[in-house]
Amino acid sequence: MKTQIIDFAVTATCKVGREMKCRQYMFVFTTLLLLPPISVTAQETDYEFRGIPASIEEFDMGFDLKGKWTGQVDLQTVTQGAYLGVNNNPFAYWQRAHIRPWIQYHQSKTTMLAASVSWMKRYSVPPLGNKRGDEVRLTLMGNFTQPTSWGSFYEQVRGEIKNNKSDGSNDWTHTPRLRLRLGQNFNVKESHQQKLLVYEEIMAKYKEHSKGFDILRFFGGYSYTKNAKWAITAGFILQFQLNRNNTNVDVYFGPSVAMRYHFGKSKHPQPPPDPDID
């Protein structure tokens, strides 16, 4: 009897391990599938990389709903300068203000599904030719976490439709986009759940007269949880974004801070807050 129990436990453990590895491999494989069409014309293009200092500030408010359902509302602002050498101040211009409500379904302690309809106000940045306008964004997201002895790693997949309109225009543009993220959370101190957060994210879009590649982003930060209600993450973002002229790559970089407050006592695990832009 004991032997059967041990065999069952070992088999179940191996099965879970294989599922986790398969999920990782599928994520990496999907990312690799996206790279050829994204970079198919890259060899024939001489890209110019130009740095733009920026900053990201975000405040998230979470709350429980019923059963496995929770909600969250993100309030975000982004500021930026112009190209390095033109204006190096990351707070020189307002780039956007974003209100992003989420409804979240916690399928398990390691799997969360979410949906959002958000509104964004984009502001003009004259040195870069960015126009003032509005965006309504539809998002479906899946977040899959694997706990480890040193912390956790996770995969995040998003499907989005970005609906944009410039001020003074009656025409809306509609841009589908796919986002894939691979993240790692390293435990630093058990007290206050202090963690070192790292993630890499790639985004691909479909837009007429534009290339498929959109954004490649790297983030590193430090997370501190004061108590069950308050948590904060401060870090640094490096982002490579294809310019609308399809030949320049704008390299955004700068500090970020994200804070979250949870109303009531949360019944579901929440990942550390992170600044989620564009």
Top-confidence residue, 38 or 193: 193
Burial class (CB in 10 A: 0-12, 13-18, 19+), 239: buried
Rounded to two decimals, the pTM is 0.83
What are the residue ranges spanned by the domains of the chain?
48-263
pLDDT at 16 (0 to 100): 42
pLDDT at 250 (0 to 100): 94
What CATH number belongs to 48-263?
2.40.160
Question: How far apart, in Å, are the Cα atoms of 221 and each of 46, 75, 186, 201?
Answer: 33, 19, 11, 15
Pairing mode, strands 248-263 and 48-64: parallel
pLDDT at 11 over 70: no
What value does the CA radius of gyration of the chain take, rounded to a whole number of Å? Answer: 20
| Mean pLDDT, range 148-154, rounded to an integer | 94
Handedness of CA 111, 113, 118, 120 (dihedral sign): positive
Q: How long, in residues, is the chain?
A: 278
Rounded distance, CA 51 to CA 83, Å?
6
**Residue 13 — very low, low, confident or very high, per pLDDT cuts 50/70/90?**
very low
| Token duo for residue 5 | 């129990």
pLDDT at 2 over 50: no
pLDDT at 41 over 60: no
